[in-house]
Structures are given as structure tokens and as C-alpha cells.
Amino acid sequence: MRLAHITRIAAVAAAVVLAATACGDQSSSLGGSSGAAPSVAQGASFPAGSTMEALNKAQTIRVGTKYDQPLFGLKGLDGNPAGFDVEISKIIAAKLGIPADKITFTEAPSAVREEVIEQNRVDMVVATYTINDKRKERISFAGPYYVAGQDLMVKSDNTTITGPDSLRAANAKVCSVSGSTPSENIKKYIDPANLTLFDVYSKCADALRTGQVDVVTTDNVILTGLIEQSNGAFKLVNHKFTEEPYGIGIKKGDVAFCEFIDQTLKEAEADGSYKAAWDSTVGKVTPEVPPLPAAGACS
């Protein structure tokens, strides 16, 4: 504990941030691909009664994320998730005065994301979570912090699937995840009997590997992570056919927390921590740092 505390103080000085990472501070305990921990706000004060004040006082935050999505949220052998969503969570926690090692991560598969927020089992969900109106009926979103797009993944030797319009003619068996936007979007391109839904994408990747399905569909960046891990077995069709703006899910109507997160993201872009989060995760495969998208209205 004491060592971690000293390391955190050291991390406040930009000059030693890299050194702290090299020595393996709390960022390495969050998994191999995590970057330098963002500077933790010291002595920050927040409006009385706000979520920010409560979290700062509690000195911990509960975050729902994915555990099987390389580059965004992948649980490491040390038990902690690593990836861009994890880094975004750390940036927000740091602004709340909460160090990375005080974040409690919980797995939040696609279908349970609204539920875990509604049931107050997490304070926020950062989990490749597309902002849309249907979800906004139950929760609120800060962000977006990234915009992905739905695509298809096939075996590397597949030449018949060229985009969603080729799926019907090929009578392709398609896999996606329950409660995800891609599982809904794909329905207009295929016979429902050809759609298999699991709870997590790694199961779809397994089904593709064993030939039980011909195609996995979800956001291009999630597929990129699975392809990265496939040893050349899978490829991206590279025909993006939707826009998936990733937001941070929070309790419905918490406008002040939403505005705080949006402001934090803006500052993270300005001070380089957004870029560092990207570079240490998705950037290892897709080096170009995306611009931070304009924030949506908080409601």
C-alpha cells in the first residue's frame, strides 16, 4: 500500500510518469497493455450532494466493463481488465481523486449493462457501449469518447463474404451477442434462423474457429482485437455499415456527473492522457489517435 501511495505521488510529476510505468506501478497490476496511470487529482472539491463528491469521499468507484474484448477490456492473468475502456475509466477516476488501484471492475456483458446501472451495482459502465435512444430510456450517457462502426469478421480464407449484402446469398451463419446493437442491425440482412447469439464475443470467435458459424459481427475495433489474437485465422471484411458512438453509461438523469465526465474527457484530450490511453491499448494495432468526438447533450 505504502509503495503504491508513493508511486501515485510520483506520478503527479509528468517527468516521472514514464519511469513509474517502467517500474511497474499500479498500472501494470491492471494488465499488460495498460499505460501510465493518469495523475490523480489532489484535494479536488465537488458540489455538495453530487455523485462526484460521494465517489471522492468513498475513494472508490465501481466500473462495469468487458472482460473478453482484447484492446478494450480484457481480463488479464492477474485478474484485472486492461484496454482502452479501462484506461478511460482510470482517467475519470483520477479526476475524481481516486487512484487506479481503487477502481472496482465488474464484468458487464452487453445484455446487462443497463441493468447493472439501474440496480446501482456500478457507478458507471465503460464497455464499448453505443449511445442510442432506446438505452437512454433507462440510463444516461456521457461522451461519446470514440466512434466505432459495425463490420464482419470471417475466416482468413473466406472470399464469399464481402459485406452485409453478401450474407443472404451465401446463406451465412452469423454470430453476435445478445443485447448488442450489432445483433439488432444484422437482422435486416439475414434469415433469423441463421443468427446465433451468445453473451460474449469470445464465444462467437470460438464458434467461427470451429466452423459452427461463418461470420462474427460487431464493432470493427472489437473484431480487430479478436483478429489480433487469432494468429492469422480471422480477417476483417472491412465494410463498415453503421456508426457506434461509445458512451459512458451512468444513472439516468445524473446531468452533473455526465457534464463532469464530458469535461474530463475534453481535458484528457488537451493534456495528452486520452492519447496515452489510446497508444497503450488500441493504438498498438491502430496507431492513428482518433479525435475526441463532440460531446452529446447531457440529460
Q: Which residues bind ligand GLU (CB under 6 A)?
A: 110, 127-130, 177, 180-182, 218-219, 222, 244
Least distance to ligand GLU, CB of residue 129, Å = 5
- Residue 10 and residue 16 in contact, taking contact as beta carbons nearer than 8 Å: yes
Q: Which is nearer to ligand GLU, 8 or 66 (CB)?
A: 66
Strand ordering across the sheet containing 234-236: 195-198, 174-177, 215-219, 150-155, 234-236
Least distance to ligand GLU, CB of residue 225, Å = 11
**d(Cα 226, Cα 236) in Å, to the nearest integer?**
10
Q: Which is nearer to ligand GLU, 40 or 63 (CB)?
A: 63
DSSP states along 91-114: HHHHHTT--GGGEEEEE--GGGHH
The interaxial angle of helices 51-58 and 255-271, nearest 10 deg, is 70
Q: Which is nearer to ligand GLU, 37 or 127 (CB)?
A: 127
Query: What are the Cα distances from residue 78, in Å, to 23, 81, 110, 245?
Result: 17, 9, 23, 30
Least distance to ligand GLU, CB of residue 81, Å = 14
Q: Can you tell me whether residue 265 is helix, strand or coil? A: helix
Least distance to ligand GLU, CB of residue 162, Å = 22
Cell, residue 26: 499500479
Q: Hey, CA dihedral for 243, 245, 246, 251, is it positive or negative?
A: negative
Least distance to ligand GLU, CB of residue 192, Å = 18
Residue 99 is which amino acid?
A: P
Q: Which is nearer to ligand GLU, 98 or 127 (CB)?
A: 127
**d(Cα 252, Cα 281) in Å, to the nearest integer?**
29
Least distance to ligand GLU, CB of residue 274, Å = 19
Q: Which residue is nearest to ligand GLU (CB)?
A: 180
Close Cβ partners of 171 (under 8 Å, ≥ 6 residues apart): 191, 194
The b-or-e profile of 74-90 (16+ CB within 10 A means b, else e) is bbbeeebbbbbbbbbbb
Least distance to ligand GLU, CB of residue 7, Å = 32
The CA-based angle 246-275-224, given to 5 degrees, is: 55
Q: Which is nearer to ligand GLU, 27 or 224 (CB)?
A: 224
Least distance to ligand GLU, CB of residue 246, Å = 7
Q: Which is nearer to ligand GLU, 140 or 181 (CB)?
A: 181
Q: Which is nearer to ligand GLU, 87 or 244 (CB)?
A: 244
Q: Which is nearer to ligand GLU, 214 or 219 (CB)?
A: 219
